[in-house]
Amino acid sequence: MPFLPSLSISHTLLLTSFLLPSSVLLVKTYFRNHPLPASLTSKIQISESIFSPSSSFPFHSIDIVNPRHHITITDTRTIHLSRTEVSNISDEEILARFTKGFFSGWIFTPERHLLAGLSMFGMKLVPVGFSAIKSHNTTISSLSQLSGTTLPTKHSMLFGGNFMVLDINLKPRASPVDYLASAAPNVVSYIEIGFGDDRKSFAGFHRFEVTHNTKMAADKGGDAGVVTSYSTSCCNLSRNQAPFPQFVFTFHKLYALGLFRDGITEVLRAPTTG
Q: Is 199 helix (H, G, I), strand (E, B) or coil?
A: coil
* Beta bridge mates, 234: 73, 204
Q: Is residue 3 part of a domain?
A: no
Q: How confident is the model at residue 9 (pLDDT cuts 50, 70, 90)?
A: very low
- On whether residue 85 sits in a domain, the answer given is yes
Q: Which domain holds residue 33?
A: 9-267
> How many domains would you assign to the chain?
1
Which of 55-64, 169-178, 202-211: highest mean pLDDT? 202-211
Give the pLDDT score at 114.
85
Provide the edge-to-edge strand list for the sheet that holds 202-213: 45-51, 72-81, 226-236, 202-213, 186-196, 163-169, 157-158, 139-140
Q: Is the pLDDT of residue 235 over 90?
A: yes
Give the lowest-confidence range in 56-70, 127-141, 152-166, 171-185: 171-185
Spell out the alpha helix ranges (H) of the chain. 9-33, 38-41, 62-65, 91-104, 109-120, 214-219, 246-267
pLDDT at 181 over 80: no
Q: Is residue 213's pLDDT more than 50? A: yes
**What is the β-pairing status of strands 226-236 and 163-169?**
unpaired
Q: What is the pLDDT of residue 143?
A: 92
Whether 68 is in a domain gets the answer yes
Query: Is residue 273 included in any domain, yes or no?
Result: no
Residue 1 lies in a domain: no
User: 250, exposed or middle or buried, with CB in 10 Å at 0-12, 13-18, 19+?
Assistant: exposed
pTM of the model: 0.82
What pLDDT does residue 259 have? 94
What is the Cα–Cα distance from 260 to 102, expressed in whole angstroms? 7
Contact of 71 with 235, CB cutoff 8 Å: yes
274 assigned to some structural domain: no
Q: Which residues pair with 229 in a beta bridge?
A: 78, 209
Cα 216 to its chain centre, rounded Å, is 25
Instruction: Determine, yes or no, domain membership for 272.
Output: no
Nearest Cα residue to 91 out of 217, 210, 227, 265: 210
Residue 71 covered by a domain: yes
